């Protein structure tokens, strides 16, 4: 099977590309690295079944040759990213999703959408089933991501009803693991970065390998969903902080900060539908997942130091743009299979986001 993966240079996208190649598929990865990282896919470039295409999916999605499936993951996924790039986030969720759907329509291909638990907003129902319509502030600061994904789900379902596109929707809950950026503002990456650099510390968590297995199961099916993909084991943020501190041997202080605007107090997926229809459920527990993630972060100590300042105080989501992006603005290079190189400026102001 030949699969086009938008946002394939991001955290989740690169793991999905790798999993597809490992099982024998061909992959066309599309990204502009505004929130992805060329290093995520650098080991894949020499693979004969892997192709990379630098592309802004909000403008167009063009893939030559056969396409059997489209996995649409292009979007920022962490609050600092979508709060810094609100219009680009809305664009990739709307125009980007439509462009990816048109690609699937042209090739009569399976299409899966990486949606989000943010669909549920600050939920009044706990835990969350897919039948819950959510509690979303449509004009709040987080609405640029929430509503972009809600629109993406709506237009995907409309393409299925109107054009018969074989659509599947995954609602992804908190996911962590290697290749997360230390400065991306998510709970796990922030805690590990702060613990390993001695910074003060101030929900369900699913390890990336488990999440990718769920996406592949959805890709291989003909089900619409939506399907909640996440770990139904709920943990407090304080508990997570304690595990990270113990695992890293850190003496960082745990501090408590007010929740950002519209940030949900509790969130936990009901995954009965995924278990029964896709035969999927998480397998890796939090201790093992964090052990692998801490090891990855510790092996990238150069990034940790540069990222510590950008996440300091970031719990209120008001870190200035210059401080928050300083670690990721340097030009990045993708080595070609024969020594060629492609320069990419990552996270440049005004760049349209892709990846995550």
Residue 261 DSSP symbol: T
pLDDT given for residue 336 in this prediction: 40
Residue the block writes with tokens 């979007």 = 75
pLDDT given for residue 7 in this prediction: 98
Q: For residue 38, report the phi and psi dihedrals to the nearest 5 degrees.
A: -55, -30
Strand partners, 29: 5, 52
Helix (H) or strand (E) holding 303: helix 301-311
pLDDT given for residue 203 in this prediction: 65
Confidence of residue 247 (pLDDT cuts 50, 70, 90): confident
**74-95: buried (b, 16+ CB within 10 Å) or exposed (e) per residue?**
bbbbbbbbbbbbbebbbbbbbb
The per-residue pLDDT for range 131-163, each reduced to its tens digit, is 999 999 999 999 999 999 999 999 999 999 999
Using DSSP's 3-state secondary structure scheme, residue 23 falls into: coil
Task: Decide: 14 and 73 in contact? Cβ < 8 Å.
Answer: no
pLDDT given for residue 189 in this prediction: 46
Task: Decide: 137 and 113 in contact? Cβ < 8 Å.
Answer: no
Rounded CA separation 10/73 (Å): 8
The per-residue pLDDT for range 64-80, each reduced to its tens digit, is 999 999 999 999 988 88
Rounded CA separation 127/268 (Å): 5
The per-residue pLDDT for range 197-211, each reduced to its tens digit, is 444 443 688 999 999
The per-residue pLDDT for range 266-311, each reduced to its tens digit, is 788 999 999 999 999 999 998 999 899 889 888 877 766 555 555 4
Using DSSP's 3-state secondary structure scheme, residue 202 falls into: coil
| 142 vs 342 pLDDT, higher one | 142
pLDDT at residue 81 greater than cutoff 50? yes
| 339 vs 163 pLDDT, higher one | 163
pLDDT at residue 347 greater than cutoff 60? no
Which structure tokens are listed for 338?
């024969």
Task: Decide: 232 and 271 in contact? Cβ < 8 Å.
Answer: yes
DSSP line for 308-339: HHHHTTGGGS---HHHHHTTT-SEEEEE-TTS
**Residues labelled catalytic:** 145
Task: Decide: 211 and 229 in contact? Cβ < 8 Å.
Answer: yes
Distance of alpha carbon 293 from the chain centroid: 16
**Number of Cβ within a 10 Å radius of residue 339:** 6
Q: Report how many helices (DSSP H) and strands (DSSP E) the chain contains, helices first.
A: 13, 11
């Amino acid at each position: 099977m030949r699969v086009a993966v938008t946002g394939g240079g991001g955290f989740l996208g690169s793991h999905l590309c790798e999993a597809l190649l490992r099982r024998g598929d061909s992959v066309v990865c599309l990204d502009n690295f505004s929130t992805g990282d060329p290093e995520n896919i650098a080991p894949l470039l020499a693979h004969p079944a892997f192709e990379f295409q630098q592309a802004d999916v909000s403008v167009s999605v063009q893939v030559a040759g056969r396409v059997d499936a489209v996995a649409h993951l292009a979007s920022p996924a962490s609050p600092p990213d979508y709060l810094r790039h609100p219009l680009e986030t809305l664009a990739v969720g709307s125009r980007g999703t439509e462009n990816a759907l048109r690609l699937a329509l042209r090739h009569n291909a399976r299409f899966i959408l990486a949606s989000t638990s943010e669909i549920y907003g600050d939920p009044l129902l706990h835990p969350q089933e897919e039948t819950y319509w959510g509690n979303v502030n449509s004009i709040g600061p987080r609405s640029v991501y929430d509503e972009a994904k809600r629109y993406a789900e709506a237009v995907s379902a409309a393409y299925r009803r109107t054009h018969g596109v074989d659509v599947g929707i995954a609602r992804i809950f908190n996911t962590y693991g290697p290749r997360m950026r230390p400065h991306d503002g998510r709970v796990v990456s922030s805690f590990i970065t702060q613990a390993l650099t001695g910074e003060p510390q101030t929900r369900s968590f699913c390890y990336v390998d488990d999440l990718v297995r769920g996406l592949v199961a959805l890709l291989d099916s003909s089900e619409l969903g939506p399907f909640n993909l996440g770990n139904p084991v709920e943990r407090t943020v304080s508990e997570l902080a304690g595990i990270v501190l113990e695992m890293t041997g850190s003496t960082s202080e745990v501090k408590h900060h007010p929740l950002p605007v519209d940030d949900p107090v509790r969130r936990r997926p009901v995954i009965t539908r995924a278990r029964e229809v896709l035969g999927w459920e998480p397998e890796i527990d939090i201790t093992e997942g964090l052990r692998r993630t801490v090891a990855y972060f510790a092996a990238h100590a150069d990034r940790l130091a540069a990222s510590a300042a950008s996440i300091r105080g970031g719990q209120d989501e008001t870190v200035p743009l210059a401080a928050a992006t300083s670690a990721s603005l340097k030009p990045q290079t993708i080595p070609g299979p024969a020594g060629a190189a492609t320069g990419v400026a990552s996270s440049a102001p005004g760049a349209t986001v892709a990846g995550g």
